[in-house]
Structure formats: structure tokens, C-alpha cells
Structure 1
Amino acid sequence: MPKANVTFEKLGLTVTVPAGTRLIEISEKIGAGITYGCREGECGTCLVCIASGMQNMSERSVLEDRVLQENMAASNQRLACQAQVLGGDISVKA
């Protein structure tokens, strides 16, 4: 199974996780402290900035895209509860 290396810049910590893991799950396991409300992709609370490696993330779902647009999110922002890592290296400003 493919793996991804995810770096949480504020913690200065890189972890290797299986492809398909959502950012919120990684945050919870390592204590990165990403705040969330619903875990369903509806509230927008878990908005994070992907510093690098966006090409290694899952595509935005219709729901995530709608919430990001409603929150006027930048192109490098994702919802941690929806965004899955696919492999490679990813750096998160969280």
C-alpha cells in the first residue's frame, strides 16, 4: 500500500501514513490540534493550508468544494476532515 509523508510545520513533525488517510485523523493521532466541528465537511472549521504537496492530495468533493467557496478559501486550503493523502510528501501549516 502506498504511503505518504505528512509534515505539520508548526510541530516540526513528519509522520508516514497509509494513502487514503484523512488529515484530521493524522492530526488527532499526533496531537497537531486541528480544530474541527462536524467531521462531515459542512462547517468549515477544519480549514488548513497545504504548504506543499497539493498534487499528493485527493480531489475536492462537491461538498468540500462548496464549503471552501462559501468560506472564500484560497486555492491551497482544504478541509482536514475531507482531504485524504494519496502518497508522496505533503506539508501542512497547522
Structure 2
Amino acid sequence: MPKAQVTFEDIGVTVTVPAGTRLIEVSEKVGAGLTYGCREGECGTCMMKIVSGGEHLASPSVLEDKILKENYASAGSRLACQAQVLDGHIVVRPG
């Protein structure tokens, strides 16, 4: 199974994960400073900035695109609950 590396810039941690893993799952496991209320119905709170390696993530879904637009997200922002790692090396930070 393909693997990828995810670096959390805010805490200086890099982990190797299987392809298909969502950024929120990785964040929870390493204790990154990601705030989220997705599971309480506050969609959009898990927004992350993709510092580099965005091409190694699956394309945003229609739902993710909609939420990002509604929240006036800056370029390079993704929802951690939606963004799936494909391969390569991705660097992220909260916000």
C-alpha cells in the first residue's frame, strides 16, 4: 500500500501514513494543534493551511469546496476532515 509523509509545522512532527488517511486522523494521533468541531456540527472549524505538497492530496469534494467558499478560505486551505493523503510529503499547519 502506498505511503505518504505528513509534517505538522506547528509542532515539528513528521509521520508516515497509509494512502487514503484523512488529515484529521493523523492530527488526532500526533496531538497537533488542530481545532475542530466537525463531530459537533460545526463544519469548517478543522480548516488547515497546506504549506506544501497539496498536489499529494485527493482533490476537494463538492462538499469541501462549498464549505471552503462559504468560509472565504484562502488559497491552500483544506478541511482536515475531508483531505485525504495520497502519497509524497505534505506540510500542514492549523488555520
Which TM-score bucket, shorter chain as reference? over 0.9
TM-score, scaled relative to structure 1: 0.94
Q: Is the 2:10–2:33 Cα contact (8 Å) retained in structure 1?
A: no
Alpha carbons 2:64, 2:79 under 8 Å: kept: yes
Kindly indicate whether the alpha-carbon contact (under 8 Å) linking 1:42 and 1:67 is maintained by their aligned counterparts in 2: no
Counterpart in the other structure of 1:6: 6
- Root-mean-square deviation (CA, aligned residues, Å) is 1.6
Name the TM-score, length of structure 2 as normaliser. Answer: 0.93
Give the Å deviation of 1:33: 2.6
Structure 2: unaligned runs, 5 residues or longer: none
Deviation >6 Å, runs of 4+: none
| Aligned counterpart, 1:43 | 43
Q: What's the % identity of the aligned pairs?
A: 67
Q: Which moved more, 1:7-16 or 1:38-47?
A: 38-47
Q: Which runs of 5+ in 1 are unaligned?
A: none
How far did 1:27 drift?
0.4
